[in-house]
Amino acid sequence: MGFLTLITFIPVVGMIIVLLLPKKNLNAIRWVSAAATFIPFVLASYLWTQFNYNLGGINNESTFQFVEHARWIPAFGIEYFMGADGLSFPMIWLTTLLSFICIFASWNIDKAQKGYFALFLLLETGMIGVFGALDFFLFYVFWEVMLLPMYFLIGIWGGPRREYAAIKFFLYTLFGSVLMLLAMLALYFNTTDPVTGAHTFNMLHMMDQSNHSDWLKILDVRYLIYIALFIGFAIKIPMFPFHTWLPDAHVEAPTAISVILAGILLKMGTYGILRISYPILPDIAASTSWYMAVFGMINILYGAFVAMAQKDFKKMVAYSSISHMGFVLLGMSVFTSAGIIGAVFQMFSHGTITAMLFLMVGVIYDRAHHRDIEGFGGLGLKMPVYTGISSVALFAALGLPGMSGFVAEIMVFIGAFPVYRTITIISAIGIIITAAYILWTLQRVFLGKLNPKYENIPEINGREIFTMAPLAVMTILFGIWPIPILNLMKTSLNYLIQIIP
């Protein structure tokens, strides 16, 4: 059994153990969960040391790493096919890290803990699987496996409007994924395995244009398939105007789940486009890139503007995610090294930054039991450490140099500017708006006179620092020295650009 399989399925093993534990034994449940997320993290970190930076992956099985290839449903061309390349590996690693951290962010879950941790572990398997799968069917299964745990995690442990948020999330994403299902089937029936001549779900075979049937060479057909896939992914990103599930889901979800939602799930949309849409239909990707750039621009600005109008701290963070994902879209749309690597780096860095932001909101919500931005004030006086860490998170979101978000955004701009000048410049206005809403929030929450209600508010505790500090360190570390991550990505992504005409 390969490492990727272990990483993917150890959480499920953990889930089974958790389910077998008695309900009352809280600590055992927590620590088993921690172990079940920590081991994949360790393994993923080990794989990082083994990662060969010179192999591209994308559409060539021999340059994928940690490949596992097994028969599953041979009668229908379905395989268990996992592997990592520079596009997926950073996301896998990030997923294992955030999952581990989120176990600790979930320490204070106050009801039905057993169910919570079991579902959480199942969710992790789904997430890692999505990033590792190279068989489209497998990808789809993992993609959908995430939905159920997410529905319950939001619906049972969420905030006051949890039911609404949960079903909204569920319906939206299901709507997207069924379209993806159809596109997947259409691709399946028009792709043949060059060796056996049978249809195949193997993504890499789908990427080889010579395996496509004549029907799949018709331009209109390719557009339709591309759009179907794109809507599926765009909902996850979430791209304007498919974004309205996000503020609800993020706001109502418990802290750790918001972290996972924003940190990992959103990335799956853009990951899917890069992993599936681009290499399989490169010509369509190239000819529709302008629209993608425009949507990226809209996301950046729209998200930022709306974030500024929010009164709810968490909602503000949620809309900021929309804005930041716009950078990914913009970077992806241009097919230049800087743009596309910037986009993927933004996926990674936003994963850490937004995770911090949600953890930050979680800390204050646990204490004040509300999230009204106007209802705080002067917390910097009573909670200096918390304020410090929060400032790191907020400034990272703002794109301050020395933090990873800055590197990603500037790379996106550098990459996008030569291709779409006007769009890039309009998008760049986003950095001003972002500064405005972040600083305004910072001011209203942490600065000014202390709200007398919070005279005795306790300082952030060790566990909470433990959840936020590694992310803060990473943000700064990769902001100053992004090479480790960029090296992971660059061979694959440069190769990806070459595929696109």
Partner 1 sequence: MVEIAVIIALLPLLAFVIQIFFGKRLPRQGDWVSIGAIVSGFGLSLYLFIQMLTRYDPGFVITESFTWIDLGSFKINLGIYLDNVSITMLMVVTIVSSLVHIYSMAYMEGDPRYSRFYAYLSLFSFSMLGLIIWDNLFGIYMMWELVGLCSYLLIGFWFEKDSASNAAKKAFITNRIGDFGFLFGLLIVVTAIGSFTLTDIAEGVASGKLSGGWLTAAGILLFCGAIGKSAQFPLHVWLPDAMEGPTPVSALIHAATMVAAGVYLVARLFFMLSLDAMIFISYIGAFTAIFASIIAVTQNDIKRVLAYSTVSQLGYMIMALGAGSFTAGFFHLVTHAMFKAGLFLGSGSVIHAMHHAMHKLDVHDDPNDIRLMGGFKDKMPTTYRTFLIYTLALSGIPFFSGFLSKDAILGGTLAFAVSQSNPIHYLLPVFGFAAAILTAFYMFRLVILTFHGEPQRKDLYENIHESPKTITIPLSILAVLSIFIFYTLPGINPFSAAHGWFEHLMAAPASAVAQFSGHPVVDISEHTAHSSHTLAMIISIIVALSGILTAFAIYYWKKMDVEALTEKMGVLYRLSYNKFYVDEIYEATVVRGLLMWNNLLSWFDNAIIDGLVNLTAWITRHTSALSGKFDNAVIDGMVNEIADITQGFGRQLRRVQTGQIQTYIFAAVVGAVVIILVRLV
Partner 2 sequence: MDNVSSIKFFIPELFLTVAVIAVIIAGLINKNKNKFLIPGMSVAALLGTVILSFTQYEMGMNSLFFNMTVLDPMSVFFKILVAAATIWIVLFSLQQHMKVEYYILLLITNLGMFLMASANDLLMILVSLEVVGLSSYVLAGYYKNNMKSSEASLKYVLYGAASTGIMAYGMSILYGLTGETNLAAIQQQLLTQQPYNLTVFISIILIFAGFGYKIAMVPFHFWVPDVYEGAPTPITAFFSVAPKAAGLALLIRFMTTVVGHQLAPGAAEWLQNMDISAPLLIAILSVLTMTLGNTIALQQKNVKRMMAYSSIAHAGYLLMAFVVFNKEGYAAIMLYLVFYLLMNFGAFFIIHMVAQKLGSEDIETFYGLGYRAPFAAVSMAIFMFSLTGLPPLAGFIGKFYLFAAIINGHWYWLAVAGVLNSVISLYYYAGVARAMFLVKTETKDAVSFQTFDKILIATLVIPTLVFGIYWTPILELTMRSIKLFAGN
Binding site for partner 2 (CB under 8 A): 72-76, 112, 140-141, 144-145, 147-148, 151-152, 155-156, 162-163, 166-167, 170-171, 174-175, 178-179, 181-182, 185-186, 188-189, 224
Degrees (nearest 5) of the Cα angle 82, 272, 349? 95
> How many residues belong to the chain?
501
Least distance from partner 2 to the Cβ atom of residue 74, Å: 8
Q: For residues 28 and 435, what is the distance between their CA atoms, to the nearest angstrom? A: 44
Partner touching 490 among partner 2, partner 1, none, CB below 5 to 8 Å by kind = partner 1
Whose Cβ is closer to partner 1: residue 18's or residue 316's?
316
Q: Which residue has the tokens 């590996």?
A: 89
Whose Cβ is closer to partner 2: residue 236's or residue 490's?
236
Degrees (nearest 5) of the Cα angle 323, 368, 365? 35
Which residues, 6 or more positions from 297, have their beta carbon under 8 angstroms from its beta carbon? Answer: 326, 330, 423, 426, 427
What residues from 400 to 439 belong to the interface with partner 1 (CB under 8 A)? 400-402, 406-407, 410-411, 413-415, 417-418, 424-425, 428-429, 431-433, 435-436, 439
Query: Contact between 72 and partner 1 (CB under 8 A)?
Result: no
What residues from 320 to 359 belong to the interface with partner 1 (CB under 8 A)? 336-338, 341
Q: Which residues pair with 81 in a beta bridge?
A: 69
- Give the residue, chosen from 40, 296, 331, 380, that forms a contact with partner 1 under the rule CB under 8 A: 380
Partner touching 393 among partner 1, partner 2, none, CB below 5 to 8 Å by kind = none
- Give the residue, chosen from 81, 120, 140, 302, that forms a contact with partner 1 under the rule CB under 8 A: 302
Q: For residues 29 and 118, what is the distance between their CA atoms, to the nearest angstrom? A: 9
Token pair of 408, please? 């990603």
Partner touching 188 among partner 1, partner 2, none, CB below 5 to 8 Å by kind = partner 2
Query: Contact between 317 and partner 1 (CB under 8 A)?
Result: no
Query: Contact between 246 and partner 1 (CB under 8 A)?
Result: no
Degrees (nearest 5) of the Cα angle 477, 473, 239? 85
- Give the residue, chosen from 6, 43, 450, 457, that forms a contact with partner 1 under the rule CB under 8 A: 450
Token pair of 423, please? 């769009």
Helix (H, G, I), strand (E, B) or coil at 199: strand
Partner touching 401 among partner 2, partner 1, none, CB below 5 to 8 Å by kind = partner 1
Q: For residues 95 and 446, what is the distance between their CA atoms, to the nearest angstrom? A: 30
Q: Are the C-beta atoms of 278 and 58 separated by less than 8 Å?
A: no
Q: How many CB atoms lie within 10 A of CB 20?
A: 9
DSSP 78-125: EEEEEEE-TTTHHHHHHHHHHHHHHHHHTTT--S-HHHHHHHHHHHHH
Partner touching 30 among partner 1, partner 2, none, CB below 5 to 8 Å by kind = none
Whose Cβ is closer to partner 1: residue 80's or residue 175's?
175
Partner touching 446 among partner 2, partner 1, none, CB below 5 to 8 Å by kind = partner 1
Q: Are the C-beta atoms of 405 and 396 separated by less than 8 Å?
A: yes
Q: For residues 247 and 317, what is the distance between their CA atoms, to the nearest angstrom? A: 9
Binding site for partner 1 (CB under 8 A): 163-164, 167-168, 171, 175, 241, 243-244, 247, 302, 305-306, 308-310, 336-338, 341, 378, 380-381, 388, 395, 400-402, 406-407, 410-411, 413-415, 417-418, 424-425, 428-429, 431-433, 435-436, 439-440, 442-443, 446-450, 482-483, 486, 490-491, 494
